[in-house]
Amino acid sequence: MNDKKSFIDRIIERIDSMDGNSLQAYMLRLSKDKGFLSTILNSVDEGILVIDRNLSIRYRNTKAKELLGLPDDLTKLRLSHFIRGVNWRMVLQENVREWTRMSREEVEISYPEPRILQMYLSPQEINNESCALVILRDITEQRQRSREELEMNTARAVSLLAAGVAHEIGNPLNSLYLNLQIIEQELGENNHDEQMSDTLSMIHSCRQEVERLDNIIHQFLHAIRPGKPQLTLTSLPGTVLETLNFMHQEFELKQIEVKINFPESAPEIMGDASQLKQAFYNILKNSIQAMSSGGEIIIDLTADDNFLNLVFTDNGGGATQEQFKEMFNPFKTFKAGGSGIGMMIIQRVLNEHGALYSVSTDPGAGLRFAIRFPRPDAKPHLPPQIPTAEE
């Protein structure tokens, strides 16, 4: 038998030892405290829920009821009836370690009306029972106006940054490239021995590295001053592989192993391959920077009826709670010499592709970045099937 007494048990013991006057005063104070807390929680603009390991809803405030269309009777209901497309089983049941991870995810619901919600899940121990606090924020309008606001708030800073990058780095690289090309041509005309061949090979490799750096700069400038994405049918596995090929030297230099789990065939998505590669580059770059002495990155791709699910997982240092909350703020960086635009680029590209994304982390044990791309042939959303009293 469990010797640890619950909160309710402790209250009952205390009530049993009270006289009538003390009992009345104690119950009045409890009622007032509960009412005050309930008033606060029902006045906030975020939906707040408490769920247990079985996804049963133990508490919900007024905003959560409004956002999800929750009925008054929550007896037979689970959160998975209302928020779908989340791998609840992995997070809350099968993997014990996953329960300790903070999770931030964007979810799309269609009932009681189409909305995009930002969901923050934080595991808690309440009266020696494993529960989770779920906070829901309606970001539908924010997603709709995010591109315009981002351009207004950062246009001047980005323009100055882009001009500085082009001048201070791009121009010297072009000059270096041209001089290497001239040297290579002149030496090639007098190639008479093996030593000269080795020198030419080294010059050719240097010129390729300059080309690679120049390409990175152009992608960077394009990413922070993008045009409207040109959406066409795009192979997601092919786009990821092209990004990996572009970055292969960085993986080798940092002794990072990349594992890919892709199906033999996958549906195409409507996407702009160039902008998607820039987003994937920044996700992978963050993983590389989080692994100072080698490591592993795993990339998984799966498909369901409505989405292609792309997941990047690394075993780097993860993120602290402070970093986790602020990682998507423009120009916010926690790395020495960082610009704070990497996550901004990722967020903008994914938003413009109608993708939903989630980030989960365990400080010191890595970070997982999951993206859900809508399929062009996706099935229409249906209202949640709420169990009846007989079920």
Angle between helical axes of 236-246 and 273-289 (0-180°, round to 10): 50
| Amino acid 391: pLDDT | 44
The CATH code that applies to domain 229-374 is 3.30.565.10
- Of residues 183 and 280, more confidence is placed in 280
With cut-offs at 50, 70 and 90, classify the pLDDT of residue 8: very low
Region 3-30 average pLDDT: 56
Provide mean pLDDT across the span 374-384: 72
- Of 51 and 229, the one with more pLDDT: 51
How many other C-beta atoms are found inside a 10 Å radius of the C-beta of residue 210?
A: 20
Type and span of the H or E element at 97: none
* pLDDT at position 96: 46
CA quadruple 310, 350, 265, 305: dihedral positive or negative?
positive
The pLDDT value given to residue 330: 59
DSSP state string for 52-85? ETT-BEEEE-HHHHHHHT--S--TT-BGGGTS-S
Place of tokens 């820039």: 278
Q: Which residue has the higher pLDDT, 296 or 97?
A: 296
Mean pLDDT of the chain: 76
Buried b (16+ CB within 10 A) or exposed e, 122-161: ebeeeeeeebbebbbbbeeeebeeeeeebeeebeeebeeb
Distance CA 347, CA 88 (A): 24
Average of pLDDT values for 279-293? 87
Tell which wins on pLDDT, 306 or 216. 306
User: Most confidently modeled of 10-24, 44-58, 185-199?
Assistant: 44-58
Specify the pLDDT at position 244: 93
Percent residues over pLDDT 70 in the chain: 63
* CA angle centred on 350, ends 64 and 346, rounded to 5°: 110
* Predicted pLDDT at 26: 59
Q: Tell whether the model's pLDDT for residue 63 goes beyond 70.
A: yes
Q: Helices 273-289 & 342-352, crossing angle to 10 degrees?
A: 150
For 319-330, what is the mean pLDDT?
Answer: 67
pLDDT computed for residue 2 by the predictor: 46
Considering only 21-25, 233-237, 349-353, which range has the smallest mean pLDDT? 21-25
Range name among 129-138, 209-218, 219-228 with the lowest pLDDT average: 219-228
Task: Tell whether domain 35-138 is in CATH 3.30.450.20.
Answer: yes
pLDDT digit string, tens, across residues 265-277? 899 999 999 889 9
Widest Cα–Cα separation across the chain? 109
- pLDDT value at position 223? 56
* Type of residue at 57: I
In the predicted model, what is the mean pLDDT of residues 192-202? 71
Residue 91 to residue 161: CA distance in whole angstroms: 41
> What does the domain layout of the chain look like in residue ranges?
35-138, 146-224, 229-374
pTM of the model: 0.56
Instruction: Identify the top-confidence range among 85-94, 299-308, 323-332.
Output: 299-308
Please tell me the predicted confidence (pLDDT) of residue 189: 64
* 124 against 7, higher pLDDT: 124
> What pLDDT is attached to residue 296?
93
- Residue 311, pLDDT score: 95
CA-based nearest residue to 70, from 125, 134, 142, 123: 134
Q: What does the pLDDT read at residue 142?
A: 77
**DSSP β-ladder status, 295-303 and 256-261:** parallel
Kindly report, residue by residue over 117-175, the tens digit of the pLDDT. 988 887 777 677 778 888 899 988 877 766 566 666 555 566 556 656 665 676 677 77
Query: Is 260's pLDDT higher than 90?
Result: yes
- What average pLDDT does range 293-300 have in this prediction? 91
